[in-house]
């Protein structure tokens, strides 16, 4: 299947692409949680299958928009509950509704709790990717191990020729 991203946008910086090219979501069918592979900095050089440009509302009450080139992934049925616990913010006693408004120390504490939680589930999230944590978007490292743990759709990450900004997101619901 061909990408829905116009070839003229391959290799372009996400930040240089007009809003008109972005769908207003990462998950078009409102079936949450969802799992996506996202390229957050540049459009892959030759995206295949179901890649598209999307912009997800996130950040709780701060109502941010997060743009990326996105590939939806099918969650293994036996892993759905695990990803649901992430999207339900089981790693934190309070919701992330106001997380983006919290002070630096509070955000750091929540990110560390998140990283500890995903590690306890057998997944990984680097310090760099943890900085992307916000309500509705829960980052995981885009690694072969995380892909094998969560989906039967094995994507050759190296073939994407993306050296920075590749991340898996568990997509949940934003409160606003």
What is the per-residue pLDDT across 126-142, written as a single tens digit (0 to 9) for each? 999 999 999 889 999 99
Per-residue pLDDT reduced to its tens digit, 95-121? 888 877 888 999 999 999 999 999 999
In this predicted structure, what is the pLDDT of residue 3?
Answer: 55
Does residue 164 lie within any of the structural domains? yes
Mean pLDDT of 58-81: 88
Containing structural domain, residue 96: 7-171
Quick check: is 113 in a domain? Answer: yes
**Is the four-CA dihedral 85, 86, 87, 88 of positive or negative sign?**
positive
Matching residue, tokens 């701060």 = 62
Instruction: Read off the pTM.
Output: 0.93
Q: Find tokens 């997800």 and name the residue.
A: 56
- Which residue matches tokens 């290799």? 11
How far, in Å, CA of 51 to CA of 39, rounded?
A: 10
Task: Look at the chain and report how many structural domains it folds into.
Answer: 1
- Mean pLDDT estimate for the chain: 90
List the strands of the sheet with 137-141, edge to edge: 52-58, 64-73, 34-39, 166-171, 137-141
pLDDT of residue 49: 66
**Over the stretch 10-24, which tens digit does the pLDDT of each residue have?**
999 999 999 999 998
* pLDDT number for residue 165: 94
pLDDT in tens, 140-162: 999 999 999 999 887 888 888 88
Residue 101 lies in a domain: yes
Average pLDDT over residues 86-94: 94
Residue 2 falls within a domain, yes or no? Answer: no
CA-CA distance, 28 to 33, in Å (whole number)? Answer: 12
Q: Look at the block and give the residue holding tokens 């972005």.
A: 22
Q: Is residue 73 part of a domain?
A: yes
Q: Which of 121, 144, 118 is nearest to 132 (CA)?
A: 118
Residue 2 reports pLDDT greater than 60: no
1 assigned to some structural domain: no
pLDDT beyond 90 at 62: no
More confident residue, 62 or 32: 32
């Amino acid at each position: 299947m061909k990408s829905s991203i116009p070839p003229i946008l391959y290799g372009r910086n996400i930040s240089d692409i007009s809003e008109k090219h972005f769908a207003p979501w990462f998950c078009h069918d409102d079936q949450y949680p969802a799992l996506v592979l996202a390229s957050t900095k540049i459009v892959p050089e030759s995206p295949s299958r179901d890649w598209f440009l999307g912009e997800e509302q996130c950040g709780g009450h701060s109502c941010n928009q997060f743009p990326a080139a996105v590939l939806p992934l099918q969650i293994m049925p036996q892993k759905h509950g695990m990803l649901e616990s992430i999207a339900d913010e089981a790693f934190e006693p309070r919701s992330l509704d106001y997380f983006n408004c919290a002070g630096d120390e509070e955000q750091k504490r929540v990110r560390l709790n998140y990283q500890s939680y995903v590690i306890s589930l057998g997944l990984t999230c680097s310090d760099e990717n943890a900085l992307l944590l916000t309500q509705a978007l829960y980052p995981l490292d885009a690694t072969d191990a995380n892909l094998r743990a969560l989906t039967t759709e094995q994507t050759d990450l190296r073939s994407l020729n993306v050296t920075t900004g590749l991340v898996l997101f568990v997509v949940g619901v934003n409160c606003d």
